[in-house]
Amino acid sequence: GGTLYLVSTPIGNLEDLTFRALRVLKEVDLVAAEDTRHSRKLFNHYGITTSLTSYFEHNEGEKGARLIEALQQGKSVALISDAGTPAISDPGYLLVSRCRDLGIEVCAVPGPSATVAALSISGLPVERFAFEGFLPPRSAARRAAFALLRSERRTTLYYEGPHRLLAALKDLQLEVGETRLIAVARELTKMHEELFRGTVAEALDHFGRERVRGEIVLLVGPAPEEKPAGTVREALLKRRQEC
Ligand code: SAM
């Protein structure tokens, strides 16, 4: 049978396509793209002439079946999304999971992903992190998500649209307070790239000044380590000893 390649493509800067990604995109029989019109730009830039077919959220089932047929007939297929790594907050999981069930070879051609790029330059602890995908659009659900961060010891990452950033920061302030260290990565690899790092209060001040534009990753730093809480009596005894 053929191989399914999950090919990462640039998240803004067209130069961020790997040599291997370029070769695979040129050599496969078929490229399945989230938005063929969007991917055509990348293809034109690099002179890739492989046939493009669409594979997006709402045709995943039907289209997936046809791609699997092609793979079983020995064709090689590359899956790409509009930006970054396919299947990461993008279509792909369903197809990969079916291929694995059927014993079809699946191969990564790794490259850009907004998550890892943002984390690496955030200046927040990177040893342990949690990726939560897109933040819920409604405040109640968003606050419930942020409430979980009160004692979270990992850096937590979210994808968010620019028009909701301020509302999200306000909810974050309500749930974890204004002193938590966070980062906002905006327009990574593009002309107006920005990495903001500071407290929630500083972020509210910074992003409250003018309309926020561009693509955004929100990173919330870990909760400060909790001091083991002794009893009031222990604290009083200790104070008496100190006096
Ligand atoms: N599969 C992609 C990846 O690997 O990064 C993510 C796809 S998701 C549909 C798109 C979201 O990723 C955007 O809404 C934004 O939150 C984030 N994103 C994509 N490109 C970005 C960039 N250049 N700078 C900051 N965030 C970006």
| Alpha-carbon gap, residue 219 to 157, rounded angstroms | 4
Take residue 164 and report the two structure tokens written for it: 């909701």
**Which atom of ligand 1 is the closest one to the Cα of 12?**
23
Cα–Cα–Cα angle for 113, 115, 118, rounded to 5 degrees:
105
ipTM score assigned to the predicted complex: 0.99
Q: pLDDT digit string (tens) for 17-44?
A: 999 999 999 999 999 999 999 999 999 9
Question: Burial letters for 226-243: b for 16+ Cβ neighbours within 10 Å, e otherwise?
Answer: eeeeeeeeeeeeeeeeee
Distance from residue 198's CA to the centre of ligand 1 (Å): 21
What is the CB < 6 Å shell around ligand 1? Answer: 11-12, 81, 83-85, 88-90, 113-115, 159-161, 185-190, 215-217
Specify the residue for token string 């790594």.
85
The answer to whether the beta carbons of residues 108 and 4 sit under 8 Å apart is no
Q: pLDDT digit string (tens) for 37-83?
A: 999 999 999 999 999 999 998 898 899 999 999 999 999 999 999 99
Whole-model pTM: value is 0.92
Burial classification of residue 183, based on how many CB atoms lie within 10 Å of its CB (0-12 exposed, 13-18 middle, 19 or more buried): buried
Q: pLDDT digit string (tens) for 69-126?
A: 999 999 999 999 999 999 999 999 999 999 999 999 999 999 999 999 999 999 999 9
Distance from residue 85's CA to the centre of ligand 1 (Å): 9
**Residue from 76, 80, 72 nearest 54 by CA:** 80
3-state secondary structure of 140: helix
